[in-house]
Amino acid sequence: MNKAQLVEAIADKVGGRQQAAEAVDAVLDAIVRAVVGGDRVSVTGFGSFEKVDRPARYARNPQTGERVRVKKTSVPRFRAGQGFKDLVSGSKKLPRGGEVAVKKAPKGSLTGGVAARATVKKAAAKKATTAKKATAKKTVAKTAAAKKTTAKKTVAKKAAAKKTTAKKATTAKKATAKKATAKKTAPAKKATAKKAPAKKATSRKTTAKKTTARKK
């Protein structure tokens, strides 16, 4: 039987497949967290789960026969309860239809009960803290991105303003240069206009000379 089959087996008893899946996940999660934290989870009539430390030792490679050093480690261990053992050995018979009778544990006999709850609460607190940190990081990232965008827009506006100012300054310089050129050109034209009558006077003198010559 795998997990999915286990969920199907208890679905009718807990009100549906979704509720069964959540119940199985919750039980397994609580057991695993308690054992990892070093607590012993004991269910009277069923068995107990605990963490066992194995010291460093030497072992042999089954393929080569070479002696290998194994590091210190920790492993989970399950010990079946007496009721479970009796049912498996056949000394007791399984009840027909209905649940297996498992004696309720007396108060305080569940060694890992309180510790398991504390472990679950700690895990929930860690998840909440992690979620808050992730949200804070996202907020900081968004703020930094907004600041960068604002800075880029400001730089672009300043650059555009500088270009506009430069264009205006260039246009003003050109206009001033044109005015200066126009002023210089105007007196020159007037001077040329004044010189023109002198030529006419010369032509009159020439005509007078010619008339005098004819009279003689």
Q: Give me the pLDDT at residue 125, please.
A: 62
Q: Give me the pLDDT at residue 109, please.
A: 45
Q: Give me the pLDDT at residue 206, please.
A: 63
Residues with Cβ within 8 Å of 7's Cβ and at least 6 positions away in sequence, in order, are 17, 20, 21, 24
Give the SS3 label for residue 96: coil
Q: Give me the pLDDT at residue 3, please.
A: 93
Q: Give me the pLDDT at residue 113, please.
A: 47
Q: Give me the pLDDT at residue 117, please.
A: 52
Q: Are strands 57-60 and 41-43 parallel, antiparallel or unpaired?
A: unpaired
C-alpha distances in Å from residue 215, one per residue of 90, 190, 205, 209, 210: 173, 40, 16, 10, 9
Q: Give me the pLDDT at residue 110, please.
A: 44
Q: Give me the pLDDT at residue 138, please.
A: 72
Identify residue 102 by its one-letter amino acid code: V
Contact indicator for 99, 46 with CB cutoff of 8 Å: no
| pLDDT tens, per residue, the chain with 216 residues | 999 999 999 998 888 999 999 999 999 999 999 999 999 999 998 999 999 999 999 999 999 989 999 999 999 999 999 999 999 998 888 877 666 655 555 554 444 444 445 555 565 566 666 667 766 677 667 777 777 777 777 777 777 777 777 777 777 777 777 776 666 665 655 555 555 454 555 556 666 666 665 654
Q: Give me the pLDDT at residue 115, please.
A: 47
CATH architecture of the region 3-120: Irregular (4.10)
